[in-house]
A and B are shown apart, each in its own frame.
Chain A
């Protein structure tokens, strides 16, 4: 069973361009989470999605950032008009939704390192 996959692993963009980060969850997982690690900071929650639904986007910046998890295909984190402050490592995690379990263990991908020039 392949783990959580993210691509690209490294992405370089110039200021003002768009960045698209992809996340394929583990097989059988219907929940996806995005986290960001800014330089010298810990991992910070951005958004939680189930198939076709955004459940919690309390950690998403109000502008330029959006996320989706369509019925088919990977989850996409999209950053429009990138700025230097968006340079960070973006991690995706996935989890199953198990009946009778009061918590969901999250399995992480290797991350996408975004550099904005």
Chain B
């Protein structure tokens, strides 16, 4: 059974703070790691897909790293803004399967 865990469950930061959160996943038979940003009442929005150990992806102030050998990924947000407030989901796929296995998410609140 593939278990994806995210921590922390929720996070409150002040505008301008940098922050990061963790996604851990079983490293055996790993295929890909997906990060999504999910605002209330909207569709989850794809941020990154990573497949290779050591991968780093960046989109504006948001970046992510991947360690497939130890089974974790970090998402970083530099200089948080109130509009970054959302739930950040990670999901993993195993080789041969298309289905995403999601963690429960990290809910980020950025206070002005």
27 A-B interface contacts by CB (under 8 A): A31-B98, A33-B98, A33-B100, A42-B103, A43-B44, A43-B102, A45-B99, A45-B100, A45-B101, A48-B98, A48-B99, A56-B98, A56-B99, A59-B99, A91-B44, A102-B32, A103-B32, A103-B49, A103-B51, A103-B93, A104-B98, A105-B34, A108-B36, A108-B43, A108-B44, A110-B41, A110-B43
The smallest beta-carbon distance between A43 and chain B, in angstroms, is: 4
Interface size class of A (residues with CB under 8 A): 20 to 34
Query: 17 other contacts beyond A43-B100, A108-B36, with CB at 8 A cut-off?
Result: A31-B98, A33-B99, A35-B100, A42-B104, A42-B105, A43-B91, A44-B102, A45-B99, A48-B99, A56-B99, A58-B99, A91-B43, A91-B44, A103-B49, A105-B49, A108-B46, A109-B43
Tell me the count of chain B residues lying within 8 A, CB to CB, of chain A: 24
Chain A positions within 8 Å of B, measured between CB atoms, are 3-4, 31, 33, 35, 41-45, 48, 55-56, 58-59, 91, 93, 95, 102-111
- Residue of B with least CB distance to A113: B41
Chain B positions within 8 Å of A, measured between CB atoms, are 31-32, 34, 36, 41-46, 49, 51, 89, 91, 93, 97-105
**B34 near A106 (CB under 8 angstroms)?**
yes
Q: Which A residues lie within 8 Å of B97 (CB)?
A: 56
The smallest beta-carbon distance between B21 and chain A, in angstroms, is: 15
In the complex, what distance in Å separates the CA atom of A104 from the CA atom of B45? 15
Q: Which B residues lie within 8 Å of A3 (CB)?
A: 43
Across the interface, A55 reaches (CB within 8 A) one of B42, B51, B98, namely: B98
Across the interface, B89 reaches (CB within 8 A) one of A31, A43, A45, A104, namely: A43
In the complex, what distance in Å separates the CA atom of A79 from the CA atom of B37? 29
